[in-house]
Amino acid sequence: MLFTDVLIVTGGFTVVFYLLKLLWTCCYGVRQYFLSEFWQLDLRRYGQWAVVTGATSGIGKAYASELARRGLDVVLISRSEEKLQMVAKEIEDQYGRKTRTIQVDFTDGHRIYSTIAAKLQGLDIGILVNNVGMSYSDHFAYFLEIPDAEQKITQVVNCNVLSVPQMTRLVLPDMVKRGTGLIINISSEVGIRPHPLLSLYSATKIFVTYFSQCLHAEYKTKGITVQCVSPFLVSTNMTKNVNISCFVKSASGFAREALNTVGHSSYTSGCLSHALQNMALTTFLPDQILMSPFFIRKLKTFAKMSKLRETEAQSSA
């Protein structure tokens, strides 16, 4: 009888614990994705300038435009001078904000950061968006299938990993001196859990996630906010401009919603749709399945079929 009573009490505590956990998640989600729409932080409080890497397309361009719309001047950093000038003109014409451009290739490694530092000198930088990133394959691929592996591995690590702490090193000291600053690091859903067939890309994104969380813990008492943003699918060049739907956000829509979460969360999926997808996949696709040889084979088969259909569509066009 005593054993049965213990089981009942233990079961009751377990149910209450999970109900409270669910309630906390729901309340946190309401604050992050609903209340933030009406209670937006004035981002100008951080400083006059925002710096955005990978700023000529996709999420980076969307962040740069949204930050300008909210009253900040923007430093655009990317590798194409022509695209930099085009985006700078768009922002100046549409929002009347000042812009500066820095043309560098983040795959070149550590040698570019002295150039960036010289061009950022003297600016009141309140916000840094570490967005620049690259993948190495159009489809799911085994590690040994990475094209031009020796060069590509170095490029991906330089772009996705090295850029984040190096850019942070350039702007953080002045933020600490002023006692305020915002650093936004763009990770990915594939940085939430390990993703076979995206092994290198997934590993670079978990670096961004952990670095962001540790940095926020270290510097939040000094007035610095470090936010990690881990989106699912956003319609960009990297995702081959996949069709926008209730599951796939446009870059501009995503940037607007994600910036609303600043001040409400240091780690976010960026929007409610992506947060719900994360919860669903974590619940219904646990790591035991995701990492299983059977699932990996099926995923690889799906990738081959998708690539074949794409090739056939291009041939018939």
Q: Which of the residues are catalytic?
A: 201
**Strand partners of residue 20:** none
**Strand partners of residue 76:** 52, 101
Q: Pinpoint the alpha helices (H) of the chain.
A: 2-30, 36-38, 58-69, 81-95, 113-120, 149-157, 163-178, 199-219, 251-260, 272-284, 287-290, 293-316
Comparing CA positions, the residue from 160, 230, 161 lying closest to residue 189 is 230
DSSP SS3 for 102? strand
Comparing CA positions, the residue from 113, 125, 114, 267 lying closest to residue 191 is 267
Q: Diameter of the chain by CA atoms?
A: 79
The rounded distance, in Å, linking the Cα atoms of 314 and 308 is 10
Contact 182, 127 (CB under 8 A): yes
DSSP label at residue 194:
-
| Residues in CB range of 225: below 8 A, 6 or more apart | 181, 182, 183, 216, 262, 263, 266
Alpha carbon distances (Å) from 262 to 60, 67, 149, 259: 16, 12, 38, 5
